[in-house]
Structure 1
Amino acid sequence: MKKNVFKITIIALCLATATACNANSKSKNQNSSIVETKLETKLNTKNPEIKVALLLDTSNSMDGLIDQAKAQLWEIVNELSYAKCEEKSPNLKIALYEYGNDNLNADEGYLRQVIAFSDDLDEISKALFSLTTNGGNEYCGKVLKTALNQLDWGDNKDDLKLIFIAGNEPYTQGQVNYKEASKLAHQNDVTVNTIFCGDYNQGISSYWKDGADLTHGDYMAINHNKATVHIASPYDDKILELNEKLNKTYVAYGKTGRAKMELQAEQDSNARGYNKANAVSRTVSKSSRLYKNSSWDLVDAEKEDNFSYDDLKEEELPKELKGKSKDEIKSYIEKKRKERGKFQQAIAELNIKRRDYISKKSADKSNGLENAMVKAIKTQALQKNYKWE
């Protein structure tokens, strides 16, 4: 009997390996590591993840870079929401580090983990808007090594694991050699992409290209002081109207529910602070599968496997559900779910028209950070059989 169980386990493992999204491993060592794993097939049964660690220079000269990151976040998220890995839709996790800011701890190399890998898009937006510039001392090797050691990169071979580091000082500064960090990236199956904020050839001479080449990443140079291009469309007003309706489908609960709903409104406001088109991009993100709020919203929470109405406490319910029976709460949540689905569908349909309008309106929507990141992600994703809808 034990022998039969062992044979079945091996067969299942081989089948899972054969049908994995990343059928073409990068090396023989990677192939052998898959065969030898004792994790059975659990990692292959869930959706793969796109993990992006963004390492931003926040020294004095980088105000334009930070502004681009804030203004272009939602378009980047939207592009990633269209990704497919075989028949699966990858999840997205983003981490953020700042470095090169004199306000940061010198003993730690003037760097800070602003947020670890997270799929909470509102928290990621909040983290970006917390950044300010000052100073500094930019140690690329140090921040790379720190991000590689601190973050949970996982060992799923179907995950797309990427670092984007942006700055404008020599890549060689600091006591940690960038080549050492590059070796660590290889060990974690992480691709490092470098974005030099300035002249292309200057970035080459200051080793930013070499930093990318060592991990088979992309080297890019951008004008970080260029204003973000936002193109208005005839569908924007309607999408923003739907955003207001979408917000009313959230049912905050628990200790953090009210604060999270306020955070949602705050990030709506931050997006509008740039202009209407940016707020539209955020609304599109909020209507996508990547916008998840199960930690505080009952409509999202109900879809989780470990959710139970029996676990809900009266004091954690919103005012409109206090004193209600379990059946009444279920009915209320189902109503909100149907409303949300209707609004999300309407936004998605309008966004198709919006994207078509923008593509015809502008032959060159050259947003530096956004274009650099999306191009690199799509190119490198092909190696793991990711495709875009």
Structure 2
Amino acid sequence: MKTRLIAQSIATALTIMGLSAGINSASAKSIEVERIVAPQVMPQVAPIKIPSVITQPKIEVVFVLDTTGSMSGLINAAKEKIWSIASTMAQAQTAPEIKMGLVAYRDRGDKYVTQNVDLSEDLDSMYSKLMDFKAQGGGDSPESVNAALYDAVHKMSWNQDSNTYKVVFLVGDAPAHMDYQDDVKYPETLCIASDKGIIINAIQSGNNYGTTKHWKHIAGLGQGNFFKVSNSGNAVAIATPFDKDLAKLSNELDKTRVYYGSSDDRVKQEAKKAAGSKLYKESSVASQARRATFNTSSSGKTNFLGEKELVDSIASGDIALESIASDELPAAMKTMKPIEQQRYIKEKSVARKELQSKIRQLAEKRDAFLKEKVEATGGRKNSLDSQIFDAIQEQSADKGLVYDKKDMKY
């Protein structure tokens, strides 16, 4: 019995190893073998390919703007062109996240020395502040450039990521006051800017020799560009047959936003809506058309929506309508039945898509119209917005931002 079990074990092992054929037939007959199940061979599975994560490029831009009396024309140019600058930046091959900030400066003895608007994707609110700045004060040549650059470098919420393109555009027509004993002088500030990876560009309005000397020094220390524009900014500002319709569609698009959240959320949302309303009342039709173009781009989505926008949150699956407490719903929806609420959101979503489609179609026609006009007049080369775009295109390439010259917006 013991010999039989040993023989059986040997036969089993040989069978598994594929060697049982080597046993002569006489020996095989004397071995009683139980039914053996061959080991399962696992099918080869191709390795799972994990898609590489495409990191969205980031752009952070702070405009440091002289707002003294002599800067009236350039301030107006900035107000007109901020949206086209944003739209142009949005044309990178991978749509970037865009934040903008603002430092307005004058001099000691004026109404203010500096006023700051922190970096934010909420360009509506930044633009609303820009609209408030008027060219006043000044009178003497030097201005508080040192204080303005200090605020730009130290008081803005700059991203710590080294892959973010961080840039300052200093715009002014007067040199820096270098005689204030308690100022941090710009060479020291620009050293800190370099450590933070912030590029400083200097844009001179006019032809003041002292300004040219300082601005070239600032651009050199800031690893940026120096260039000049006229007192008007040489901004390309051509009206188009599409501006009025784009402005109207933009206003209608804003009305598709449905906000939810706490009382604190509502305060922010009301401020966001107020900034938009101010834009429609006080800015030019062309600016409204440019904003419409930006807001329908991938980069402009955050500016358009703001925080806790219900239509987009539901469409993206971020939140379910039934999970929202009644007191966090907008007033118009609180008295609705659930099915009516769903219908209301659906109607807003459909209207939004239609409006966005119309805006994109008109924006393409507007772009084609402007390119033809600008090329015919040769007005692009020395304009404020063109030179800003050229600097951005050159300086941001190592941050994953790739542009084409034809992407310039007006």
CA distance in 2, matches of 1:213, 1:148: 16
- Give the match for residue 168 of structure 1: 173
The within-5 A match list for 1:34-49 is 46-49=55-58
- Please state whether the residue corresponding to 2:304 is helix, strand or coil: coil
- Residue identity over aligned pairs, in percent, reads 26
2:102 equivalent in structure 1? 96
The 2-side partners of 1:229 and 1:94 are apart by: 21
Instruction: Please state how far the C-alpha of 1:100 moved relative to its aligned partner.
Output: 1.4
2:212 alignment counterpart: 204
Contact 1:260-1:296 at 8 Å conserved across structures = no
The 2-side partners of 1:346 and 1:320 are apart by 27
Are positions 1:278 and 2:281 aligned together? no
Counterpart of 2:188 in structure 1: which amino acid? E
Alignment match of 1:155 (pick from 155, 160, 163): 160
Alpha-carbon spacing, 1:146–1:345, altered in 2? closer, same or farther (3 Å):
same
1:140-192, CA deviations, whole angstroms, 9 ceiling, x for partnerless residues? 22221222112222222221100011111224634322211111111000100
Partner residue in 2 for 1:251: 258
What is the CA–CA distance in structure 2 between the aligned matches of 1:52 and 1:253, rounded to whole Å?
30
The Cα shift of 1:200 comes to 7.7
CA distance in 2: counterparts of 1:304 and 1:180, whole angstroms: 47
- 186, 206, 213: which one pairs with 2:194? 186
Unmatched runs of 5 consecutive residues or more in structure 1: 1-14, 20-43
| Structure-1 residue corresponding to 2:81 | 72
Deviation of 1:370 after TM superposition, in Å, equals 1.8
Alignment root-mean-square deviation, CA: 2.9
Structure 1 residues 387 and 303 mapped into 2: Cα distance closer, same or farther (>3 Å)? farther
Q: Structure 1 residues 322 and 91, CA, compared in 2 at 3 Å: closer, same or farther?
A: same
Contact 1:236–1:280 under 8 Å retained in 2: yes
Give the whole-Å Cα distance in 2 for the aligned partners of 1:189 and 1:382.
14
Q: Say if 2:57 and 2:399, in contact at 8 Å, map to a contact too.
A: no
Q: Confirm whether residue 133 of structure 1 aligns to residue 145 of structure 2.
A: no
The structure-2 alpha-carbon separation of the partners of 1:185 and 1:260, relative to structure 1 and needing over 3 Å to count, comes to: closer
CA contact (8 A) 1:268 1:282 kept: no
Residue pair 2:67, 2:133 contacting (<8 A) in 1 also: yes
Q: Distance in 2 between matches of 1:204 and 1:144?
A: 17
Amino acid at match of 1:176: V
- Cα distance in 1 for partners of 2:275, 2:60 equals 23
The answer to whether the 8 A contact 1:179-1:214 is kept is: yes
- Shifted more, 303-312 versus 319-328: the winner is 303-312
Once residues 310 and 355 of structure 1 are traced to their aligned partners in structure 2, the CA distance between those partners, rounded to angstroms, is 43
Residues 306-325 of structure 1 mapped to structure 2, 5 A cutoff: 307=319, 309=321, 312-325=324-337
1:24-72 CA-to-partner distances (Å, cap 9, x unmatched) read xxxxxxxxxxxxxxxxxxxx87523100011111122122222111111
Helix, strand or coil: the match of 1:83? coil
Q: Is the 8 A contact 1:295 1:301 kept in 2?
A: no
Match of residue 112 from structure 1: 115
- Alpha-carbon separation, structure 2, partners of 1:142 and 1:244: 38
Is this contact kept in 2: 1:252–1:261, CA < 8 A?
Answer: no
Q: Contact 1:58–1:66 (CA<8 Å) still a contact in 2?
A: yes
Match of 1:372 in 2: 387
Deviations 1:299-327 (Å, cap 9, x if unpaired)? Answer: 24446786454564434433431223455
Distance 1:379 1:155 in 2: 21
Structure-1 separation of matches of 2:399 and 2:271: 39
Larger Rg: 2
Choose which of 250, 267, 276 in structure 2 pairs with 1:264: 276
Aligned equivalents of 1:267 and 1:138: distance in 2? 30
Aligned mate of 2:247, from 229, 232, 240: 240
Letter in 2 for 1:55: V
Call closer, same or farther: CA 1:285–1:202 in 2, change over 3 Å.
same
Residues 326 and 158 of structure 1: is their aligned pair in 2 closer, same or farther, counting only changes over 3 Å? farther
Note the C-alpha offset of 1:353: 2.0
Code of the residue aligned with 1:181 in structure 2: it is T
TM-score scaled to structure 1, two decimals?
Answer: 0.77
Higher mean displacement: 182-191 or 241-250: 241-250
Counterpart for residue 28 of structure 1? none
Aligned length: 337
SS in 2 for 1:164: strand
